[in-house]
Structure 1
Amino acid sequence: MKRRSLEPLQPRALAEEGLCRALLAMRDVGEMRAFLRDLCTPAEVEALVDRWSVVPHLLAGTPYREIHDLTAVSITTVGRVARYLNHGNGGYLAAAARAQQSRRPRRAAGVNLEPCLSRRAVDTSTKSGKPRRATGASTKPGKPRRATVVPA
């Protein structure tokens, strides 16, 4: 008879850890690209690329509308990335810092992230500094929303 643990297995958490380990096991950009293309649909890869392309612009304090004009990423997606950049788990900042370190000779999208590496971006579109919910308000004319970098 099999011995059973007193703690219930958490298959979802174990699967997530396995995925993280698989991502970490990729040795170079080519392997990672192949893995992502096998793992995700083209639309899912495009969504990931869109989100990642917004990060340097948000860290540089570029207004949401300008980011949309530069990247063709929807303002809703820009706001979502800003929300997770500000109030998420720190993954975007860690990845941006490591990506910046690994490509010192060339700059991504002409944006220097060095001043932002030990700071966090804050959405200053509201008086409280908390990001607004994604609504139709972001498409109305007026003062563009801007993510600024402040000391952590």
Structure 2
Amino acid sequence: MPPSPARTALHDAILSLTTREEVEAFMADLCTPAELRAFAERWQVARLLDGGGKSYREIAAEAQASPTTVVRVARYLKDMPHQGYRLALDRLKA
């Protein structure tokens, strides 16, 4: 199912940003502090999972995330068709 026009407009707005400062300002307006913490936590978990060598329990402790969050991110990283985490991780490695 394609994204709604509202989601497409949001994607276009994000793609228009060119600096970390612009992204920070936009995200601060768009999200609550709790939402931003959750996004950052999930991204940190994805990066730690991609690094390999650590148990889910170690990753949860290092990221200050719940074990449920670690399992959820791991499932999306490995099994889900979107592969958004994988795309971003691979691009940042390049």
TM-score, with structure 2 as normaliser: 0.88
For residue 99 of structure 1, report the CA deviation from its aligned partner: 2.2
Is residue 25 from structure 1 mapped to residue 16 from structure 2 by the alignment? yes
User: Where do residues 102-113 of structure 1 align in structure 2 (5 Å cutoff)?
Assistant: none
User: Where do residues 2-17 of structure 1 align in structure 2 (5 Å cutoff)?
Assistant: 13-17=4-8
Higher strand share: 1
Q: Which amino acid aligns with 2:86?
A: L
SS of alignment partner, residue 65 of structure 2:
coil
Return the match for 1:72 from 39, 64, 70.
64
Is residue 42 from structure 1 mapped to residue 33 from structure 2 by the alignment? yes
Is residue 99 from structure 1 mapped to residue 55 from structure 2 by the alignment? no
Return the match for 1:57 from 48, 56, 75.
48
1:18 and 1:54 mapped to 2: Cα distance?
Answer: 28
SS of alignment partner, residue 4 of structure 2:
helix
Q: Which amino acid aligns with 1:27?
A: T
SS of alignment partner, residue 73 of structure 1:
coil
SS of alignment partner, residue 95 of structure 1:
helix
Number of aligned residue pairs: 90
Higher helix share: 2
Of 90-99 and 32-41, deviating more is 90-99
Looking at both structures, which has the greater relative contact order when contacts are Cα pairs under 8 Å and sequence separation is at least 6?
1
Unaligned runs of 5+ in 1: 1-11, 102-152
SS of alignment partner, residue 54 of structure 1:
helix
Percent identical among aligned pairs is 42
Return the index of the structure with the highest Cα Rg. 1
- The one-character-per-residue Cα deviations of 1:74-108 (angstroms, maximum 9, x if unpaired) are 1110111111111220100111122223xxxxxxx
1:30 and 1:99 mapped to 2: Cα distance?
Answer: 18
